[in-house]
A and B are shown apart, each in its own frame.
Chain A
Amino acid sequence: MQRPADIVDCDIHPAVRSMADLEPWLERRWIEHYKTYGALRQTHYVSGAPYHKSQPNASRRDAYPPEGGPQGSSPAFLSSHHLDANGITVGVLNPLVQSQGVRNLGHSAALCRAINHWQAEIWVAREPRLRASIVVPYEDPDVSADEIRHWAGDRRFVQVLLLSRSSSLPGNKRYWPIYQAAAEAGLPVGIHAFGNSGWPVSNVGWPSFYLEEMVGHAQTSQSGLVSLVLEGVFERWPTLKVVLVESGFTWAPSLLWRLDKAFDTLRSEVPHLKLRPSEYIRRNVWWTSQPMDEPENRRFLADMFDWLGWDRLLFSSDYPHWDFDDPTRVIMFPASEEQRQAFFAGNARAVYAL
């Protein structure tokens, strides 16, 4: 496929060379704390990711910066190797630097603040094509709301970033201060796959394989989406935008059908909902595309786009991660010029007010 003229990449992962990169924005108290005690995750006994990745740093082996450091850690190389090479006009940063799942909530909050400064000053200030996400310590929702208000109005930041595996389901009332602050600021809430909640990716315990984690994000995301709808988050904040990032989307049409069917007979359990679940979802929720499913007949994906709505899907590459999607190899089925434009840029420009 010929490369579109305008491509908004809604999922780019900047990395730190080491946690020392964050020290300019950390009080000495937290610098010393990290060196002495580390950053324990909510997940027990684990100091890194719960599943070892299939590629170093879960990233492309061809994406190491020439000056050294892990993939995604060089602003200059990210600009040339990804933005220039793939024709990205705007890229949204989603830092997965350890911070949000840190069990010491004070430490978590300090790391999130530092990461937000780091994005703004090291990345966005040097590369006008990039935008930042407000990383919040979501297990402390009041502090998270303060973090959102701290950056609100700063157009370098275009969304609030949460992870899909939080300690409670995301519709839970204890997270509502986050949605209140995001709605006030007019910022979408991006919920990216992964997280360090302490919960396994499966709801039946810890799977044996990384492969199970890879496909399990879809289940986590479905549980989260159902929770957001049924707890009434979109009834309370009708303008709130939620973007589900890197969790797949081909599961969504069947979930919407099933959810509506059950809702029609069980609505007395959730009388606070005024619309059918699919109506909230088609009003308030978007999905990013990567990792795009690859059915043997790619035309099946066109049906998925039709069923969900071409206005709901946003292109994402996941650069520099190993399961990166190349924008010229994503829509491998017939689509109109208007549909392509919406998918690659128009939808994202509307959602993120770019």
Chain B
Amino acid sequence: MASHVVAATAEFPPGTRRVIEIDGRAVVVFNVKGEYFALLDKCPHNGGSLAAGVVTGLLQSAEPGCYSYAREGEIIRCPWHGWEFDIKTGRSFCSVIRARARAFPVHIEPGQTIVEGPYRAETVPVRVEDDYVVVDA
């Protein structure tokens, strides 16, 4: 394992991203509100470059008519098919309500508001060393 310097922290502000190549593989590093995270720059669904995606939040709905955003700035949306991944963990989401239908009476159980999706983007460890963002891979 070798350490790869991504950028000086002063030149890598929150909300931005950098792409570096490590052993022939592209890795995208994100600054999320002052914390750094890295993902393999290849969407696990069909291989799109996550670096070209939009950083967004998760739009959720506890019930029809109620909408809220969560995790703003922590979600990357693939530029191809729009799969969404948690930048911190690489987990994919399909933001649906887990509702359990029963015969009678019918009601919606709040349950988990976010259901994990089928894909997981590969994460890469990142650390800050002497004011430089460093990826160990």
Contact = CB atoms under 8 A, between A and B. Distances in A.
Interface of A: 54-55, 60-62, 322-326, 328-329
B81 A322 contact: yes
Contacts of A60: 48, 52, 79-80
Given A322-B82, A325-B46, 16 more contacts: A55-B82, A60-B48, A61-B52, A62-B48, A62-B51, A62-B79, A62-B80, A322-B79, A322-B80, A322-B81, A323-B80, A323-B81, A326-B46, A328-B47, A329-B46, A329-B47
B81 A62 contact: no
B49 interface: yes
Main secondary structure of the interface of B (DSSP, over half): loop
A323 B81 CA distance: 5
Contacts of B79: 55, 60-62, 322
**Highest count of chain B CB atoms <10 Å: which of A62, A323, A324, A326:** A62
From DSSP, what is the main secondary structure of chain A's interface residues? loop
Chain B interface bracket (under 10, 10 to 19, 20 to 34, 35 or more): 10 to 19
Contacts of B51: 62
B53 interface: yes
A26 to B, nearest CB: 34
Given A55-B79, A60-B79, A62-B79, A326 B47 contact: yes
B94 interface: no
B47 A62 contact: no
Contacts of A328: 47
A324 B80 contact: yes
A58 B80 CA distance: 10
Contacts of B54: 61
Nearest to A324: B80
A322 B79 CA distance: 7
A55 B53 CA distance: 10
16 contacts: A55-B79, A60-B48, A60-B80, A61-B52, A61-B54, A62-B51, A62-B52, A62-B79, A62-B80, A322-B79, A322-B81, A323-B80, A323-B81, A325-B46, A328-B47, A329-B47
Interface string B67-95: 00000000000011110000000000000
A324 B48 CA distance: 10
A321 to B, nearest CB: 9
Top 4 nearest A-B pairs by Cβ distance? Answer: A62-B52, A61-B79, A329-B46, A62-B79
